[in-house]
Chains A and B, each alone.
Chain A
Amino acid sequence: AQSVSQHNHHVILSEAASLELGCNYSYGGTVNLFWYVQYPGQHLQLLLKYFSGDPLVKGIKGFEAEFIKSKFSFNLRKPSVQWSDTAEYFCAVTAQAGTALIFGKGTTLSVSS
């Protein structure tokens, strides 16, 4: 069965610091990979996705992620965080389009101004 691991449970940063959130998945075949963000009290919004092609994907709000197939990883990065990035971040995977997302347990990001 597929699973997703997010290594960082809670990350605390100051504004302008760089961010990297780890995500590893377990599945041997082709996968579709996603990062979602959930701002306090709000619904999930897609930050970025990887289906195929360039393993470095750029998303909204200055986020990017790199797919490293050999490491089964899809880490999220942002060079300079802002207070407004305070949120819950979820990595997710599907093995096939039209199937359910398998989520990691999420990482809480707290950014202090």
Chain B
Amino acid sequence: GENVEQHPSTLSVQEGDSAVIKCTYSDSASNYFPWYKQELGKRPQLIIDIRSNVGEKKDQRIAVTLNKTAKHFSLHITETQPEDSAVYFCAASSKTSYDKVIFGPGTSLSVIP
């Protein structure tokens, strides 16, 4: 079955700097890659997603890139702000597993003012 790895497990950046979180997946049939942000004690919130027919997607300060050949995808946050501090989860799913979404272990991002 699918296995999703995520790095780093913790990340600290200065306010205004960029943050990059990287994930790898094992199932070459995976075709949907969402990213969730979870603040302490709150629900995971979908912040951006990408499908396998595109290589990059942007939404204001966040962007996701996908390399299908290498089976990895990354989240990029530019001009980080303290409110970006949270745990970020990547995930992957495929039609061959009936859209079952497998989550990575998470990255705890701290943005230092």
Q: Do chains A and B interact in one complex?
A: no
